[in-house]
Chain A
Amino acid sequence: MTRILLADDEVHITSLLARKLEQNGLEVDVAHDGEEAWLIAQERTPHAVITDLQMPYMNGVEFVELLRANAPTAGIPIIMLTARGYVLETDQADRLNIAAVMPKPFSVRRVVSLLESLLADRAGPGASLREVA
């Protein structure tokens, strides 16, 4: 079963996404901060990650840096969520091979369909940044 790791300190976001992803037949692990996310990622080796940018203990960028430096998760698709107004530096998103940056509030349907297409083509390293706004 395809495992998705969802990391966001806002519980309404994780409930929302987890419900939709589960409805689409994906297995979802939820983390509430970057540190917990990193622990789960090492234990579970998710097939894809959706992570918030601003989280306590460890932010999204630091978390993704760890994922990229860790062989089993180095190439998995990653979608990053951000608060509106906060723009991730383009080179940062490129460097970390982040497939898409979605400003909140986002269309859940688009996140889910984007994730499914990323999983379908498993582009891995080299996937281009898609700014979805």
Chain B
Amino acid sequence: MTGPFQLGSKKDPGHRVRARCSDIGLAVWRTNAAGLILEEPFGDGLLGLWLRAGPLGRRIASTTSQWDGDREPDLHELFTGCWLLPLAERRRRRLVGYTVALAFGPEGLQQPEFEEMCKAAQLQSVAVRRVMRTWANHDKGSCTRLLQMLRWMYEDQRAIAEHEDAIETFTDRLGNAYETIDLLYALGRSMNELDEPETFLQASLERLHEAAEFSWAMLVFPEGVHEGVPTRRDSFSAGRPTMSFPEIEKAARELIAKLDRPDTLTICSDVEGFEPDGGPQVVVQPVLREQGPIGWLLAGEKGGNDPQVSTYDTHLIEAAAGYLGPFLENAELYREQKALFVGMLKALSASIDAKDPYTCGHSARVAHLSACLARKIGLDPRTVERIHIAGLVHDIGKIGIPEHILGKTSRLTDEEFDAIKRHPEIGYRILRDLPQFDDVLPTVLHHHERWDGQGYPKGLAGEDIPLAARIMALADTFDAMSSTRAYRPAMNRDKVFAEFRRCSGSQFDPSLVDPFLSLDFARYDELVGEARNLSTDLKAA
């Protein structure tokens, strides 16, 4: 049933009660706590005009203004057969106003007061009476019961509204908790990706920006200081700020320099240099390692419903920084360890190459060319790296070959040649107890195999030879041909290339020859030059 009055709809329990009153044909007014009328009943036609006409409103106002502060005013008979049903509205126990319903009994429509009001409103009382007859069916008893019902309904609606509020708050908090868990889960899962710290840092900032309502997030390291940080970049950023990222970075560095406590989370307001109007808030959180901050995580231009930085925001940023610190530390340790490992291998291989003055720098060059070819044919970065390492150690077995054989200038006897042919197996045996070389072993063992099966030590052919070993065979042969050896001078590049093409499909995997010959040999030639200088130095010494 739709009544003659429509009220604006808001989430406030008073509004809900008033809407229901109008649905069942009760006209309602709203007043403030002092009884001043704020809202009149809506309504079309004659009835609406009559309800909003001055005389009725004035009579109601003169009554309500006397309630001023009354926490539970009683049912009030305005005149015979016309009652006001006052409902005190409270918010958190404070009186905020009254909802006043108007109820008529049949005798109310016959009173002189009714006639008077119609007259003053310039309406015909007969017509008004006809419209009102259908709902002027109350008496004092029904009004008392109705008022009690309204009070209960108001209390129920108030409780419902409070619960809805609470649920919304819980829901928002739950949403925030989900964002946090999701962010930390993603960060935690990527923590082991130490190989590519920059990818991790960038992804972390993107995720932080997604999870928090800040327009931007940035990670800055001290400018130009890369010690102890596994990246050459000075900053990482994510988001869609008003300012450009370089502007933010500049302002951020100035802000960090001025912080009283750069080793703890700070929420800065109205910071110079930040738009719009200083930010308005910028959160600065240090990324800590044992010795102190190594970088700072910043976020600003908070969006969403509340532009104030909340504890959720700061928790999220603190938690993200909590992951970044150990990650940076681990990544740096990993980088150092890897550098040490490769450095040791280079030193080792160089010392083997030095046994033979003609092979100075050979392992480093083979490692370089093998890695280039591996990259060229699309192998993944980790495999390329492992092939590089295999290149460094591929000739480690030569440590077991007498120097007089390696450096012999005249033709080798069959026995001597057999001794040389044992170096892949010797290398294999030297490395096999080191788990770090498990994946490199087959390359070391098979780098002298040939595509046609005529190589050594196993005589493997075609794709039975591991791919990395096939790659290394090209690099190894190329460097041997291009270098002066004890028993022959170096061949020029054209001749080497021609030889490679001739041996494609016999000595070499035919699918690798073209990619190999299309490599850029500039760096290789530099390595040749460096080795020549070193070799000269050694001879001089």
**In the complex, which of the residues A15, A16, A19, A107 contacts B211, with contact meaning CB atoms closer than 8 Å?**
A107
Interface string of A82-104 (1 = CB under 8 A from B): 00000000000000000000000
B167, B172, B175, B211: residue with the most chain A Cβ atoms closer than 10 Å: B175
User: Nearest CB to that of B211 among chain A residues?
Assistant: A107
Instruction: Please name all residues of chain B whose beta carbon is closer than 8 Å to the beta carbon of A15 when the two chains form the complex.
Output: 167, 171
- The answer to whether B171 and A105 have CB atoms under 8 Å apart is no
User: Nearest CB to that of A112 among chain B residues?
Assistant: B175
- The answer to whether A16 and B210 have CB atoms under 8 Å apart is no
Instruction: Please name all residues of chain B whose beta carbon is closer than 8 Å to the beta carbon of A105 when the two chains form the complex.
Output: 177-178, 181-182
- The answer to whether A109 and B171 have CB atoms under 8 Å apart is no
Q: Is B168 an interface residue (CB 8 A)?
A: yes
A53-87 residues with Cβ-Cβ distance < 8 A to B are none
Instruction: Please name all residues of chain A whose beta carbon is closer than 8 Å to the beta carbon of B181 when the two chains form the complex.
Output: 105
Q: Is A32 an interface residue (CB 8 A)?
A: no
User: Nearest CB to that of A23 among chain B residues?
Assistant: B305
Supposing A12-B174, A16-B174 touch, asked if A109 and B167 sit within 8 A by C-beta, the answer is: no
- Nearest chain B CB to A37's CB is how many angstroms away? 21
Q: Is A123 an interface residue (CB 8 A)?
A: no
**Inter-chain CB contacts under 8 Å: number:** 34
- The answer to whether A16 and B175 have CB atoms under 8 Å apart is yes
Q: Is B179 an interface residue (CB 8 A)?
A: yes
- Nearest chain B CB to A35's CB is how many angstroms away? 25
**In the complex the two chains form, what is the Cα distance from A133 to B186 in whole Å?**
8
**In the complex the two chains form, what is the Cα distance from A16 to B182 in whole Å?**
15
Interface string of B177-204 (1 = CB under 8 A from A): 1110111001000000000000000000
- Nearest chain B CB to A110's CB is how many angstroms away? 6
**In the complex, which of the residues A12, A19, A106 contacts B182, with contact meaning CB atoms closer than 8 Å?**
A106
Interface size on A, residues (CB 8 A): 12
- Nearest chain B CB to A124's CB is how many angstroms away? 26
- The answer to whether B175 and A20 have CB atoms under 8 Å apart is yes
Interface string of A1-45 (1 = CB under 8 A from B): 000000000001001100110000000000000000000000000
Instruction: Please name all residues of chain A whose beta carbon is closer than 8 Å to the beta carbon of B168 when the two chains form the complex.
Output: 19
- The answer to whether A110 and B210 have CB atoms under 8 Å apart is yes
Determine chain B's interface SS by DSSP, over half rule. Answer: helix
- The answer to whether B175 and A108 have CB atoms under 8 Å apart is yes
- The answer to whether B174 and A109 have CB atoms under 8 Å apart is no
B167, B168, B182: residue with the most chain A Cβ atoms closer than 10 Å: B182
- The answer to whether A19 and B178 have CB atoms under 8 Å apart is no
Instruction: Please name all residues of chain B whose beta carbon is closer than 8 Å to the beta carbon of A108 when the two chains form the complex.
Output: 175, 178-179
- Nearest chain B CB to A21's CB is how many angstroms away? 12
- The answer to whether A107 and B178 have CB atoms under 8 Å apart is yes
Instruction: Please name all residues of chain B whose beta carbon is closer than 8 Å to the beta carbon of A110 when the two chains form the complex.
Output: 182, 210
**In the complex the two chains form, what is the Cα distance from A12 to B178 in whole Å?**
11
**In the complex the two chains form, what is the Cα distance from A93 to B168 in whole Å?**
33
- Nearest chain A CB to B375's CB is how many angstroms away? 28
- Nearest chain B CB to A133's CB is how many angstroms away? 8
User: Nearest CB to that of B212 among chain A residues?
Assistant: A109
Instruction: Please name all residues of chain B whose beta carbon is closer than 8 Å to the beta carbon of A107 when the two chains form the complex.
Output: 178-179, 182-183, 210-211
User: Nearest CB to that of A84 among chain B residues?
Assistant: B185
Instruction: Please name all residues of chain A whose beta carbon is closer than 8 Å to the beta carbon of B210 when the two chains form the complex.
Output: 107, 109-110
- The answer to whether B179 and A19 have CB atoms under 8 Å apart is no
- The answer to whether A16 and B171 have CB atoms under 8 Å apart is yes
- The answer to whether B171 and A19 have CB atoms under 8 Å apart is yes
Binding site for A on B (CB under 8 A): 167-168, 171-172, 174-175, 177-179, 181-183, 186, 210-211
5 pairs across A/B with beta carbons < 8 Å? A16-B171, A16-B178, A105-B182, A107-B178, A108-B175
Beyond the given pairs A19-B175, A107-B182, A133-B186, 17 more chain A to chain B contacts, judged by CB atoms under 8 angstroms and listed by A's residue number, are A12-B171, A12-B174, A15-B167, A16-B171, A16-B174, A16-B175, A19-B168, A19-B172, A105-B177, A105-B178, A106-B182, A107-B179, A107-B183, A107-B211, A109-B179, A109-B211, A110-B182
